[in-house]
Structure 1
Amino acid sequence: MHSASDPAVEPDAPITWDWILGQLTQELDDVVAEFLREFRATEPYPSDQVAQQDIVDTARQTFELLIRRLRGESDPPGAAGLIERLAARRAQQGVPLATFLRAVRIDFRVIWVHVQRIAGEQGSAVLARNVVHLLDTVEDYVDALREAYRAEEARLDRTLAAQRHRTILRLFSGEPLTGGETELLAGRLRMRADARYEVIAVTGEAIHAMIARYGKDPLVGSFESVSAIVLFREQTAPERWRREVSSAGAYVGDVDGLAAVPRAAEVALQIARHAPAGEPVLATEDEVWATVALQHLREVFPRHAREVPRSLAALPAHERARLIQAVRTYLRTGSIKATAERLFCHRNTVINRLRAFADATGYDPTVPLEAAWIVVALAPEPGTPNENMQTHNP
């Protein structure tokens, strides 16, 4: 990846528009950083209206979308409804339309500066042929945002939803709340400040279904980001909402008070990002903690993360599957007897498989410290079935 000050690498073949955009894609982190610098230096949004992470995530998704359109490619996965959701969110956040569109138009200047540097003198003719295409693509995006913003603004003007949305935005702004402010927000939401809450988070295509089901429910609060939606309500029974919702995503229950909901939402979003694939059920911390730990373990203690799967990969597939099944069942139950009953085999068979696992990997599942390493090393990758063995790359 090139920094903003490095010259672009000259290709062997003649410079093309597609090559320039390919280089631009590789520099996406720099492009986003440049946008953020210019945005903050001009007319930034108030921090109590728009979270900084929202701005960062939106900038990245916007540039990804624009670059794909400039290349004549289809929009990125999960981009359906992105323009409408972004415009609606800014309207709900109270960002003036003119301020919003000025921020979006920074995209053109940032892209233009980067493609000029990438192309250099050799590609100046290519840029000249495509500058109108670039300008039209950005303006088409601006026009679509303007139309969607005005539609959402009109909808908010016709309802009392504006106050509710702004109340939730204040709750999720990241700014500390006093007891009095929490009581005020709870009153506006018609909720209790000291109640116990439950929170769910979904991403991707499931967002539309959640909005359709709960968007107008007065007992449910919702907070939408670029690629996820968080819903919260007062909890009336343990994990009740989890049982009601048939969707991939995340669930956090027993949240102590309205003021604790934003932190629970952060946890729910982490769970959703690491949730296993498979049945449409909301995941909890219990399902994903090992996967989250594995992501960190790879960085700080890579040997432990790779030794178990590497050793198992050397075994025949059938033998590997039997050992992993026995070990996982034993680690869930903590009992040789219970493991044998679940696997419909003799207890000696379980003991032999646990011993074979220890011999093959050097990690004994009957030793608590070593068992902890095994649980993490065999954790599934985010978005994969929970029971499948993952051969993690070293």
Structure 2
Amino acid sequence: MHTTALRDVADRCRGRLSKIAEEYAQEVRRLPGYAVATVTDDELSRTAREVLDLLMRMLAGDDVRGTLSAVSERVGRHRAQQGLALDSLLRAVRMDFRFLWEVLRDEADADEVLALSEEVATVWEAVEVHTSHIQAAYIDELVSMNRQLELERASLLRRLLVGETSDPTQLAHLASALGLPVLGRYRVLVAAPRFADAFRRWAKEHVAGADLHVIDGTQFLIVERSGPRTPPEARLQSAPAGLSPTIDGLAGLGVGWQIARRLADEVTEPQNAATLLTHWPMLVEEGLGEAWPIARRELTSRLDALSAGKRSAIVDTVRAYLSSGSIGDTASRLFVHRNTLLKRLQRFTELTGLDPTVPSDAALITLILARP
């Protein structure tokens, strides 16, 4: 409506805009979130002066709606870039009407108060122009920033998986983006192509806060081996996916990815993962390459943790048994009781998951024990 009273009061307020803006900035600074925000006092005061001046000019009848909208959008985007929480920003914006109305009312003469009271809707409309544009711009910028972050993260992850980078700085950046430690221990699960939907359901049900990645149309998960939300081994084995051995550090994820991706093609049932133990002959035939040291360490880690004497006794027994396949002959050769030999073979199975008496396991054990 813009009555003469509103125009006059708004014009007079512009005459002491610096003081008004400073008071507003001080109130905003006390709001939750602003005390620790990266918005400086100088910037807060400068922005307050600019926005309040445009609001006062709009109330005085000037056609500055377009300019105000542009400024509001700029501020909204900048606050998102500065990391100010949306809730904190909206608290400040919602304060605008109350603050502006109190300033106008305090400025009005006694004979202007009644006429001014009829302009509440006009003041509200002016503030709403600012509010709607600043909020929309903030959300739009936040979406854009998140999209860029996802693209950047996907690019870094892709380079890591294909072996294009092991730079410590980039690894640290990727670790931060993924929320994972650089030196953590990980398993990689790559969705079986024929069970992609089942893999998504499995991840949602069994991996708390699952961060499902997609590279070249292939879905996969990176699971921290000893994290608080890590599913137990039996649950990992039930994923419709290729499951890598344990990988030490983010730098080794590329090898884990290669193993899991190849294994994913071998999954035939949606309740059973393909692992090194279940499909090692196929991997050996194709050439394990870099994957073999990781695979071997996965199988022998518990065995290697034993004292040298205990490990040697078990390994020597297994080697001797594999050379003959006879419990009796091996016991005689090692000068040990038959029960002692059986206990050592059983202990080897407990530590590695491989049974020397099973032909397919025996072949893999032979590869593992080929070098000390």
TM-score bracket, shorter-length normalisation: 0.3 to 0.5
TM-score, length basis structure 2? 0.37
- Give the structure, 1 or 2, with the largest relative contact order (CA under 8 Å, sep 6 or more): 1
TM-score, length basis structure 1? 0.35
